[in-house]
Amino acid sequence: MPSVAEILSQKTTSVVSVNPTMTVLDATQLMNLHRIGSVCVVDDAGSLIGVFSERDVLTRVVAAERSPNTTVVGEVMTSDPCTCTEEIDLDEVAEVMRDRRVRHIPVIDCNGALKGMISIGDINAHRVSQQDQHIQMLNDYVYGRA
């Protein structure tokens, strides 16, 4: 099975991050602009301190009747998020996502520096692509094109 590095190498956009002092409104507008479901929260030094996701908006802002205009991301983000490295196998990442019920996991290097973000959508798209290639190979074999 391929590693997280293979997925990250195919992504065309860089990781979107926000500061913990950004308002929830501004962060969700940024997420909407980039059509993503979560952002990494980094401190002034660029170190990962949390993840802010659509689920955080629903459970910690909307359901708690907090104002997105005045609530800052640092108050409602998921602190100490689950992370992975580029070397980890995609099946392992998918298992962690399933077990922890998360859809996005930040990718860090051995020094803890943020390298990217992997989503369940990235993993599923990769799996579909692999299955399509396998189906094409089987068709070629069956019809003598191999």
**Cβ count near 119 (within 10 Å):** 19
* Nearby residues of 102 by Cβ (< 8 Å), 6 or more positions away: 53, 81, 82, 96
Confidence at residue 100, expressed as pLDDT on a 0 to 100 scale: 95
Q: Note the pTM of the prediction, 2 decimals.
A: 0.84
Domains and CATH numbers, the chain: 4-142 (3.10.580.10)
Q: Give the pLDDT confidence of 63-115 residue by residue, as tens digits.
A: 999 999 999 999 999 998 999 999 999 999 999 999 999 999 999 998 888 99
Q: Rounded distance, CA 27 to CA 17, Å?
A: 9
